[in-house]
Chain A
Amino acid sequence: MVNTEIKLKGLTLKNPVMTASGTFGYGEEYADFVDLAELGGIVVKGTTLHHREGNPYPRMAETPMGMLNCVGLQNKGVDYFIETIYPRIKDFDTNVIVNVSGSNIDDYIAAVSKIDALENIPAIELNVSCPNVKQGGMAFGVTCSGIEQVVRAVRDVYHKHLIVKLSPNVTNIADIAMAAESAGADSVSLINTLLGMAIDAETRRPVLSMVTGGLSGACVKPVALRMVWQVAKAVKIPVIGLGGISSATDAIEFLLAGASAIEIGTANFIDPAISAKVAKGIAEYCERQGVKDVNELIGGLRL
């Protein structure tokens, strides 16, 4: 029997597979396809202090092996989440992690404080890297001083596991990760989407309502893998890898590059049952390779 349990600081995952924010709703949307108990965790839709309508339609453009989106953090706000959604999802037999976003420090603090009080939410993923919101979001995540400022402020009010989700749209992601670590992050997750763009040549207009959007899907995997490898070498806190993971093999590659856990995002749209398949596939890989503990794979790249 392979041990698949992963211990991040104060957060135990029954296996390294989680689902990425914004691609898995609140888990309920996938309940017909996946037994959520087979996952290490789910990261629910980005939540902000106040209700956000998000950006206008069209919000999506398909690309070779990927897609661009400019959804813009549409959500009903943290109070609605606590009153309406949390009671429905709090007893899922997996870690329910809330992705929290904001446009200024006070909003982050207010939203995080409310979620800190929720007994069955063992961790938050701090989103400082959404490319689709004009103010904030990514603005914090692209400089060391910005990320230090927001992580420190949140760390003061949040008492459980604090994941900081990093933007790939930076010059040196390892520097940003180290800044998050020094400001008190318990782990970092990466990568958020890569800023991209699509144009309709026939109409000569942008495809997306916001002109630019975040690129995700299988096409971003090599970039994500490289960044996970760079960050894992630079920080001591655990790294959660994501970006284009579509199979158990992809997931193993991220573990070997130094990720302690992984998130599955856009691949959920192509196969809504993929997350549980990846969890199973990781265990099968370990058995096949004679690996007794999945933790042995973390950073196991042979150079």
Chain B
Amino acid sequence: MKKISDFKVIEKQTWPRAAFLRLQCGEQLPEILGGQFVQVRVDGGQHTYLRRPISIHDVDCQNNTIDLLIQEKHEGTKILCSLPVGAEVNLVFPLGNGFTMPEKNDEILLVGGGIGIAPLLYFAKTIKANRGNKVSFLLGGRSADDLMLLERFREVGDVFLTTNDGSLGEQGFVTQHSLWNTKKINKIYACGPMPMMKAVAKVAKEKDIWCEVSLENQMACGIGACLCCVENTTEGNLCVCKEGPVFNINRLLW
């Protein structure tokens, strides 16, 4: 069930161009799937009329909190990153389909690029809770500064890193990491910049590995009503907000 609720920022951590916000709701959270997102209302900007879709980084159903990891891009995300502890935010959530839960014996690789690492944490936790699988994260950034909160990922699975400048992990893109030659993988879940996801999809196709990616097309409504965020697929134009944001690569025309 989708909801519209007020939350309060109860915890915050910032980096030069990103922020972690822990948001608490006064009411019981509905069931939330890994890979789903929220639409955050942004007040006070000249170009922030519409809500901003932000992926769900983590959920705590006991304390009714949702964590968001937000990268500053334009005015909307800048305002969100500058929200102080105690600020109120209004969310429409949980939205989208979420990632497909793997099978118990699947060898899973979660690939994240830049702020695309955000939804992988909560998804990995739901896999662990539901299936018990051990997961591996392959996280890439331009430099070490892009790879935040790694300790949270390490609590859930093995973490492999790449940076373009070599400041952390192996130098290069995620698709160039040495684990591709050594690790047994039969399911890939990816979220990140479009070129990264396309590169991961290409590797997955070459190696014949099942793969889902999470898209971030520009949205207005977030609930499948306005048809603005469509992705052209093998089934025609589908709404990324409702039929996605997660798509199996075989449905995409990449």
How far apart sit A97 and B1, CA to CA, in the bound complex (Å)? 26
User: Which residues of the partner chain B approach A270 to less than 8 Å between Cβ atoms?
Assistant: 41, 49-51
Let me know if A74 and B225 touch, CB within 8 A: no
Contact of A29 among B4, B47, B225, B232 (CB under 8 A): B225
Asked whether, in the complex, the Cβ of A269 is within 8 Å of the Cβ of B221, the reply is yes
Q: List 16 A-B contacts (CB under 8 A).
A: A23-B226, A24-B225, A25-B223, A29-B223, A29-B225, A30-B225, A32-B1, A33-B92, A59-B229, A63-B47, A67-B220, A71-B226, A74-B227, A269-B50, A270-B49, A270-B51
B32 to chain A, nearest CB (A): 14
A67 to B49, CA, bound (A): 8
Q: Which of A42-96 contact B (CB under 8 A)?
A: 45, 53-54, 56-60, 62-67, 69, 71, 74
| Cβ-defined contact, B230 with A32, below 8 A | no
B230 lies within 8 A of A54 (CB): yes
- Asked if B3 and A32 make an inter-chain contact with CB atoms under 8 angstroms apart, the answer reads yes
Among B2, B49, B225, B228, point to the contact of A64 (Cβ < 8 A): B49
Q: What is the interface of chain A mostly: helix, strand, loop, or mixed?
A: loop
- Mark interface residues in A246-269 (1 if CB within 8 Å of B CB, else 0): 000000000000000000001011
Asked if A268 and B225 make an inter-chain contact with CB atoms under 8 angstroms apart, the answer reads yes
Residue of A nearest to B236 (CB): A53
Residue of A nearest to B1 (CB): A32
* Separation of A25 and B239 alpha carbons in the complex (Å): 12
Which residues of B195-224 have CB atoms within 8 Å of chain A's CB atoms? 217-224
Asked if A218 is at the interface of the complex by the 8 Å CB criterion, the answer is yes
- Give the chain B neighbours of A56 by CB distance below 8 A: 232
Question: Inside 8 A of A69's CB, which chain B residues have their CB?
Answer: 220, 226, 228
A interface with B by C-beta (< 8 Å): 22-25, 29-30, 32-33, 45, 53-54, 56-60, 62-67, 69, 71, 74, 217-218, 266, 268-273
Q: How far is the CA of A218 from the CA of B3 in the complex (A)?
A: 24
Say whether, besides A32-B2, A63-B49, A67-B49, A23 and B227 are in contact (CB < 8 Å): no
Most buried by A among B51, B92, B218, B221: B221
CA distance A69 to B229 in the complex (A): 11
Pair B230/A57 contact, Cβ less than 8 Å? yes
Distance, CA A53 to CA B237, complexed state (A): 7
Please pick, from B217, B220, B237, the residue contacting A74 in the complex, using a CB distance under 8 A: B237
Q: Is B231 an interface residue (CB 8 A)?
A: yes
Query: Does B234 lie at the interface of the complex (its beta carbon under 8 Å from any beta carbon of A)?
Result: no
Contacts of A66 in B (CB 8 A): 49
Given A32-B3, A271-B4: A59 and B227 interface contact (C-beta under 8 Å): yes
CA distance A30 to B47 in the complex (A): 25
Q: Given A67-B50, A217-B49, are A59 and B223 also a contact pair (CB < 8 Å)?
A: no
In this assembly, does B46 line the interface, its C-beta being within 8 Å of a C-beta of chain A?
yes
